[in-house]
Amino acid sequence: MSPPVFSRPLTFSEYNSLQLILVKISKILAEEVIDAIDSEVNKPKRLWVRKWIKRRNQLGASNLLLKELAVEDPAECRLFLRMTPELFEELLIRVSPYVQRQDTLKREAVPARTKLPT
């Protein structure tokens, strides 16, 4: 058995003082815990997708490049893809289920058409 903390019993006023000190310490600790939780909860949200990345499907280089090449210069498109546009479309149809990811609530997946040539 451990030795007693106090060599004599506490008086009523000492006991009350000790109780008040413990209550104050408990309040301070509770406030610190609440502040820590609040700062964690109210932390500024991180951006999952930057604004310029959101515009990738409309303004992205590879997306625009493929469209423009197919329309303006089919011969260069064939050299760039190293296949005919028709063969590219057929390959895209076959590979899309394996390459295409699902969109999430936070961001849109990169289209298979954009992934395939790279």
Query: pLDDT of 53-65, one tens digit each?
Result: 777 777 777 777 7
3-state secondary structure of 7: coil
Rounded to an integer, what distance in angstroms lies between the CA atom of residue 38 and that of residue 31?
A: 10
With the C-alpha atoms ordered 69, 110, 57, 93, is the resulting torsion angle positive or negative?
Answer: positive
**In contact, 35 and 29? CB cutoff 8 Å:** no
Those residues whose C-beta lies under 8 Å from the C-beta of residue 45, and which sit 6 or more positions away, are: none
pLDDT tens per residue, range 47-103: 677 777 777 777 777 777 778 888 888 888 888 888 888 898 899 899 988 888 898
- Higher pLDDT, residue 45 or 88: 88
Region 28-53 average pLDDT: 82
Given a cut of 80, whether residue 5 has pLDDT beyond it is: no
Residue ranges of domains in the chain: 12-41, 82-117
Specify the amino acid at residue 104.
T
Closest CA to 99 of 110, 89, 90, 107: 110
